[in-house]
């Protein structure tokens, strides 16, 4: 009898669709016994109802509408009472037709078909497990007479629960009627398969590498691979005198990514979309039978390699995909970290470093079940030397989430497309305040992992979700797949080289600032409970966004020097036409500087800098607010003395991220995301400040000035006919003008 009661209760569950005239409060849902399942576009809500909750809702509707209680409610046609509440514009059943994906029309069911049963998001793991069990029971019952009907794979995570089943048409009908099910569809088709890799060919001549060269400090780049023909302009092993054995399995893939930036064109059978860049190969890695290791003392060997790249080959961009296997949690920065920072400043070179990969320690919750929570646990911290203050640090995003290997039906991708890769490392690293240093600053495609449900094990190199890489040729095959931040870093170095080719006289600071302006955080990169700044930083860079100014898009730059512990005010030419009216505007500023570092000091970098936007005041007023102010005691002692506070409110609008999140960074990007632009604000200024770290007096005297680069991106994304570039040229002739300066407050 109890079992029959359970079945009866299950049969009375109905999912309702409610569309509100505005956003509905979900509290009343719970009060009526309705379970909110999801919220869609246009203030549409899906709620699970029982017979009891529908009776409660009916009582409320009758009381509100003055309907005769004796009048029965036709639950097959709930539109009859939809107009009883002002805030509910429509009520309908969420039934089999809503759950039916049109792709199901392609299935014949001549044999058992694979179906993905997408569940409503659950509030927690226990609820998700209960809902999965309900589907497993349906499948188990259907399989009694047909062993081919079975559960093939399960993604049990509460927000992305999917059960893949081998089903007949009768089971499909049962699934379409199941209230816990949001959607039933065929599995998505992989964009890349093993066959794509095996059959890839080069059918047309590839473009010749050109532009700014990229230095690769890694393993050996095997030039027999056709993707590297003519691209590796020089190669040398370090330390000098060491005799290397055969090639490793790392250098060719890293070099290929630096040359091309992306090898997707090979499996899509399209011409490359970007000009390949030449690379100079400094070999420091050797395979020891188990893994690749740096020959000699890493900080000595890598320093020798970088000096050769810069001194002998004029390299301005260096990519390093070499990390330790553990988070950087030592009392002091490592000798390699410090060496990279010292070389970046001394040689005026952009050093791009991978965050390192988390791949040896399995999270307690497991790779699939624990994603994304383990992305920010202590074991996922940035690995040395990616904590270098002056280096550009790069983490990994997953580009695809549909496995394409031989056992694809039982595979579940761990990260969603555009989400942080399961192996990537996250920040922050040590800094001047509790929030630390924002690392990584950038991310790029570094691949994804999958969980094999049938074997209950991790798949690290599924062709459908991994990075396509160049490999030492194996017969006719010259590409393979791999995963890791090792491939994200050279992809970002490729973007730096594109910028350096366009701006041949730019300093390393300006190249970093422009790179930051070019980055965007993908909309789909957000994962529940994880701050995207910790995993994505400023986002995925794309040099195309900032290579040219024109029309409604303007890029402004300046390279300057600031006296330490002082302030410099830069006037920003914001045209009246840009600030007037309603429009989708972009205002983004990036600041890069290269302070000295000292490994023995708690304050590792010699000074910090900041940038703020001030508007609505003239230059003299801004200068008075930011100059050194009298102390409170001086004001109290002399009534004629005035102390000015910093501008507040709309005069000094908030930029994102807040200053505390980037206070320790040497590359700072901040965005003005507000719609509150006013054409009456005639003046706009960027206030650049410098603060000395509490080093010794002798050390401070050795650091009297700091060079920096400032870059601004101003764009109107709605008014393409607004000639913003020309309006700014009229005001400034392409450059920011350095304004007043003074001692730090």
Residue 316 and residue 440 in one domain: yes
108 vs 64, higher pLDDT: 108
pLDDT, tens digit, for every residue of 224-247? 999 999 999 999 999 999 999 888
Tell how many helices (H) and how many strands (E) occur in the chain.
20, 32
- Asked whether residue 242 is assigned to any structural domain, the reply reads no
**Which pLDDT does position 611 carry in this prediction?**
97
**Which pLDDT does position 79 carry in this prediction?**
44
pLDDT, tens digit, for every residue of 486-506? 999 999 999 999 999 999 999
Edge-first strand listing for the sheet containing 566-571:
607-615, 684-692, 566-571, 737-743
How far apart are the C-alpha atoms of 198 and 267, rounded to whole Å?
10
Residue 55 and residue 104 in one domain: no
Residue 555 and residue 701 in one domain: yes
How far apart are the C-alpha atoms of 603 and 689, rounded to whole Å?
18
Of 160, 185, 210, at which residue does a domain stop? 185
Dihedral sign, CA of 720, 722, 725, 726? Answer: positive
Residue 89 and residue 110 in one domain: no
How far apart are the C-alpha atoms of 100 and 658, rounded to whole Å?
45
Mean pLDDT of 687-714: 90
221 vs 742, higher pLDDT: 221
pLDDT, tens digit, for every residue of 252-279? 999 999 999 999 999 888 888 889 999 9
Residue 522 and residue 557 in one domain: no
- Asked whether residue 217 is assigned to any structural domain, the reply reads no
Residue 47 and residue 143 in one domain: no
Dihedral sign, CA of 249, 427, 661, 369? Answer: positive
Mean pLDDT of 688-711: 90
Residue 586 and residue 568 in one domain: yes
pLDDT above 60: residue 655: yes
Q: Interior CA angle at 368 toward 363 and 372, to 5°?
A: 75
Residue 491 and residue 564 in one domain: no
Residue 520 and residue 669 in one domain: no
pLDDT above 80: residue 477: yes
**Which pLDDT does position 76 carry in this prediction?**
47
pLDDT, tens digit, for every residue of 284-328? 999 887 888 999 999 999 999 999 999 999 999 999 999 999 999
- Asked whether residue 210 is assigned to any structural domain, the reply reads no
Q: Is 123 exposed, middle or buried (0-12, 13-18, 19+ CB in 10 A)?
A: exposed
Both tokens of 350, joined, read: 């952009």
Alpha-carbon distance values, 495 to 337, 370, 491 (Å) = 23, 33, 7
State the DSSP code for 78.
Answer: G
**Which pLDDT does position 2 carry in this prediction?**
42
Of 39, 63, 94, at which residue does a domain stop? 94
For 311-352, the three-class secondary structure string (H helix, E strand, C coil) is: HHHCCCEEEECCCCCCECCCCCCCHHHHHHHHHHHHHCCEEE
Confidence at 438, pLDDT banded by 50, 70, 90: very high
pLDDT above 60: residue 21: yes
Q: Interior CA angle at 388 toward 280 and 217, to 5°?
A: 15
Residue 569 and residue 526 in one domain: no
pLDDT above 80: residue 336: yes
- Asked whether residue 514 is assigned to any structural domain, the reply reads yes
CATH number for position 175 = 3.30.70
- If we measure between CA atoms, which residue out of 136, 93, 89, 142 comes closest to residue 117? 136
- Asked whether residue 616 is assigned to any structural domain, the reply reads yes
Which range, of 525-534, 610-619, 649-658, averages the lowest pLDDT? 525-534
Of 544, 569, 594, at which residue does a domain stop? 544
**Which pLDDT does position 167 carry in this prediction?**
97
Do 327 and 382 contact (CB within 8 A), yes or no? yes
Mean pLDDT of the chain: 88
Which range, of 79-83, 124-128, 227-231, 714-718, averages the lowest pLDDT? 79-83
**Which pLDDT does position 67 carry in this prediction?**
53
Strands (E), 564-671: 566-571, 585-593, 607-615, 667-671
CATH number for position 331 = 3.40.50.200
Confidence at 741, pLDDT banded by 50, 70, 90: low
Owning domain of residue 134:
98-185
Residue 440 and residue 531 in one domain: yes
Do 383 and 327 contact (CB within 8 A), yes or no? yes
Residue 578 and residue 628 in one domain: yes
pLDDT, tens digit, for every residue of 81-115? 443 455 677 778 899 999 999 999 999 999 999 99
- Asked whether residue 196 is assigned to any structural domain, the reply reads no
- Asked whether residue 689 is assigned to any structural domain, the reply reads yes
Domain count, the chain: 4
Do 46 and 179 contact (CB within 8 A), yes or no? no
- Asked whether residue 193 is assigned to any structural domain, the reply reads no
């Amino acid at each position: 009898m109890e079992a029959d009661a359970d079945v009866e209760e299950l049969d009375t569950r109905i999912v309702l669709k409610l569309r509100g005239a505005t956003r509905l409060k979900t509290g009343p849902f719970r009060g009526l016994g309705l379970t909110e399942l999801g919220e869609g576009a246009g203030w549409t809500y899906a709620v699970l109802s029982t017979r009891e909750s529908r009776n409660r809702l009916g009582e409320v509707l009758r009381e509100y509408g003055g309907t005769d209680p004796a009048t029965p409610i036709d639950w097959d046609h709930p539109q009859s009472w939809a107009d009883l509440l002002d805030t509910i514009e429509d009520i309908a059943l969420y039934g089999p037709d809503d759950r039916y994906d049109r792709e199901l029309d392609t299935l014949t069911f001549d044999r058992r078909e694979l179906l993905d049963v997408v569940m409503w998001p659950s509030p927690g793991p226990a609820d998700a497990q209960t809902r999965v069990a309900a589907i497993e029971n349906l499948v188990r019952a259907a399989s009694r007479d047909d062993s081919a009907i079975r559960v093939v794979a399960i993604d049990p995570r509460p927000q992305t629960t999917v059960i893949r089943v081998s089903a007949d048409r009768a089971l499909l009908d049962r699934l379409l009627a199941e209230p816990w099910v949001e959607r039933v569809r065929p599995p998505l088709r992989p964009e890349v398969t093993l066959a794509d890799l095996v059959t890839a060919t080069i059918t047309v001549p590839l473009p010749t590498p050109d532009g700014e060269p990229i230095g690769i400090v890694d393993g050996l780049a095997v030039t027999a691979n056709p993707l590297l023909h003519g691209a590796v302009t020089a190669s040398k092993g370090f330390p000098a005198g060491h005799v290397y054995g055969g090639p490793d399995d790392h250098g060719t893939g890293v070099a290929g990514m630096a040359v091309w930036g992306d090898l997707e064109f090979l499996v899509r059978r399209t011409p490359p979309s970007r000009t390949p860049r030449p690379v100079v190969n400094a070999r420091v890695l050797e395979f020891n039978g188990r893994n690749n290791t740096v020959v000699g003392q890493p900080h000595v060997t890598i320093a020798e390699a970088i000096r050769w790249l810069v001194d002998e080959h004029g390299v301005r961009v260096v990519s390093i995909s070499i990390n330790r296997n553990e988070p950087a949690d030592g009392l002091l920065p490592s000798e390699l970290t410090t060496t990279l920072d010292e070389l970046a400043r001394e040689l005026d070179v952009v050093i791009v470093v991978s965050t390192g990969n988390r791949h040896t320690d399995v999270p307690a919750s497991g790779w699939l079940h624990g994603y994304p929570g383990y992305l920010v646990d202590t074991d996922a911290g940035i690995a040395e030397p990616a904590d270098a203050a002056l280096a550009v640090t790069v983490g990994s995003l997953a580009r695809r989430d549909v496995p394409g290997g031989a056992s694809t039906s039982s595979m579940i991708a761990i990260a969603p497309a555009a989400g942080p890769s399961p192996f990537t490392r996250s920040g922050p690293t040590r800094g001047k305040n509790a929030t630390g240093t924002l690392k990584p600053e950038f991310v790029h495609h570094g691949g994804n992992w999958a969980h094999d449900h049938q074997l209950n094990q991790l798949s690290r190199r599924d062709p459908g979700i991994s990075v396509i890489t160049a490999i030492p040729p194996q017969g006719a095959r010259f590409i393979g797949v791999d995963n890791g931040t090792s491939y994200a870093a050279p992809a970002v170095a490729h973007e730096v080289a594109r910028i350096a080719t366009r701006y041949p006289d730019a300093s390393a600071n300006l190249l970093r600032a422009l790179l930051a302006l070019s980055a965007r955080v993908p909309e789909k990169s957000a994962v529940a409970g994880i701050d995207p700044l910790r995993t994505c930083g400023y986002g995925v860079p794309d040099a195309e966004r900032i290579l040219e100014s024109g029309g409604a898009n303007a890029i402004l730059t300046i390279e300057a020097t600031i006296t330490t512990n002082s302030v410099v005010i830069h006037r920003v030419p914001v045209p009246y036409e840009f600030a007037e009216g309603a429009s989708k505007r972009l205002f983004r500023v990036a600041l890069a500087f290269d302070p000295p570092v000292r490994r023995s000091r708690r304050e590792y970098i010699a000074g910090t800098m900041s940038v703020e936007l001030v508007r609505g005041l003239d230059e003299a007023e801004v200068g008075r607010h930011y100059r050194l102010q009298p102390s409170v005691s001086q004001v109290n002692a002399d009534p004629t003395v005035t102390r000015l506070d910093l501008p507040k409110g709309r005069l000094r609008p908030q930029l994102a991220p807040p200053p505390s999140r980037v206070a320790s960074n040497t590359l700072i990007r901040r965005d003005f995301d507000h719609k509150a632009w006013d054409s009456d604000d005639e003046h706009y200024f960027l206030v650049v400040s410098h603060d000395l770290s509490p080093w010794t007096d002798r050390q401070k005297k050795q650091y009297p000035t700091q060079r920096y680069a400032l870059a601004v991106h101003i764009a109107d994304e709605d008014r393409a006919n607004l000639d913003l570039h020309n309006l700014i040229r009229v005001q400034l002739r392409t450059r920011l003008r350095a304004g007043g300066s003074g001692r730090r407050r």
